[in-house]
Amino acid sequence: MTTASYRRIVLKLSGEALSGEQGFGIEPNVIQSIASQVKEIAELGVEVAIVVGGGNIWRGKVGSEMGMDRANADYMGMLATIMNALAFQDSLENFGIPTRVQTSIEMRQVAEPYIRRKAIRHLEKKRVVIFAAGTGNPYFSTDTTAALRAAEIEADVILMAKNNVDGVYTADPKFNKDAKKYDELSYMEVLNEGLGVMDSTASSLCMDNNIPLLVFSVTQEGNIKRAVLGEKIGTVIRRK
Ligand code: UDP
């Protein structure tokens, strides 16, 4: 009998992770592969909360670089995460996993508003909860959302699923073949060395609230389960 190392997790899925090779839009095969991996861990009894990004559709920063008002551009980014959340909910439900989407910006016709206690109740009833629309505030990221929600629901860990890299490296492995993968890091090292794991707001929030983070590749089938079973994959970041 396999036992999970965690009771409750936050899985951070970037928009890029849902778009697969093409890097844009939503790729049904990729979503299905990730949903089937989520099914595996839900069947282990792990309580699963998911924070979805939106970078496969729109990033606020890009809009503001084109001359848009930053807050407006960020709201568009938050709306993009809702589209991803609905797509992922659909895929999870096709696998028979009861799933609820909660949004930080109210959109009652399509999803529940974010209510912390209700989210926890869903998790206790073994429903997967997808948190969409980020924090609901411009100038933040969905990585920060993952840190915030993980603290609020008292998750044991954040699993940060990447689609093109299997952990944190000394340099970008795509461009530098001498780049070495870290097995473990502290949040202070991530912040001091400016390692591109997550933005500094998200790293600080994780550090201050003592939330460990595992960065790993979701492209390899079964990796979410490996992560949940505590196998040594990816890079672990914690407060030291
Ligand atoms: N965003 C925001 N506030 C939040 C979360 C997200 O304004 O709390 C916006 C921001 O414009 C961001 C976009 O939503 O660029 C998509 O989120 P993110 O870039 O974090 O997605 P990911 O990189 O994970 O795909």
For the chain, what are the domain ranges?
A: 8-238
Name the nearest CA neighbour of 81 among 144, 155, 131: 131
Fold of 8-238: Carbamate kinase (3.40.1160)
Give tens-digit pLDDT for 59-85.
999 999 999 999 999 999 999 999 999
Q: 14 φ, ψ to 5°?
A: -75, 160
Residue 175 assigned ligand-binding role: no
Give tens-digit pLDDT for 94-127.
999 999 999 999 999 999 999 999 999 999 999 9
The reported pLDDT for the residue numbered 112 is 98
The reported pLDDT for the residue numbered 145 is 98
Ranges of H-type helices in the chain: 15-19, 28-43, 60-65, 70-94, 116-124, 142-152, 187-192, 200-208, 223-228
The reported pLDDT for the residue numbered 19 is 92
Q: What are the CA-CA distances from residue 197 to residues 7, 54, 141, 193 (Å)? A: 24, 17, 13, 11
Q: 47 φ, ψ to 5°?
A: -85, 120
The reported pLDDT for the residue numbered 198 is 95
Note whether 236 and 214 are within 8 A (CB): yes
142-152 vs 200-208: helix axis angle to the nearest 10? Answer: 10
Q: Which two tokens mark 124?
A: 């206790």
Least trusted range by pLDDT, from 15-24, 124-133, 229-238:
15-24
- Residues in contact with ligand 1 by the CB-under-6-Å rule are 14-16, 53-55, 59-61, 74, 77-78, 80-81, 134-135, 137-138, 140-143, 145
| Mutational test site, ligand 1, from 16, 65, 74, max ligand atoms within 8 Å of CB | 74
Residue 134 assigned ligand-binding role: no
Residue type at 233 in one-letter notation: I
CB atoms within 10 A of CB 111: 20
Give tens-digit pLDDT for 4-50.
999 999 999 999 999 988 889 999 999 999 999 999 999 999 999 99
The reported pLDDT for the residue numbered 186 is 97
Give tens-digit pLDDT for 145-183.
999 999 999 999 999 999 888 999 999 888 999 999 999
Cβ-defined contacts of 204-209 (< 8 Å, 24+):
205/144, 205/147, 205/148, 205/151, 206/147, 206/150, 206/158, 206/237, 206/239, 207/239, 209/147, 209/150, 209/151
Residue 140: DSSP 8-state: -
The answer to whether residue 51 scores a pLDDT higher than 70 is yes
pLDDT bracket for residue 1 (50, 70, 90): low
The reported pLDDT for the residue numbered 98 is 98
The reported pLDDT for the residue numbered 163 is 86
The reported pLDDT for the residue numbered 23 is 82
Sign of torsion, CA 110 44 148 22?
negative
Q: Say how many Å lie between the CA of residue 44 and the centre of ligand 1.
A: 30
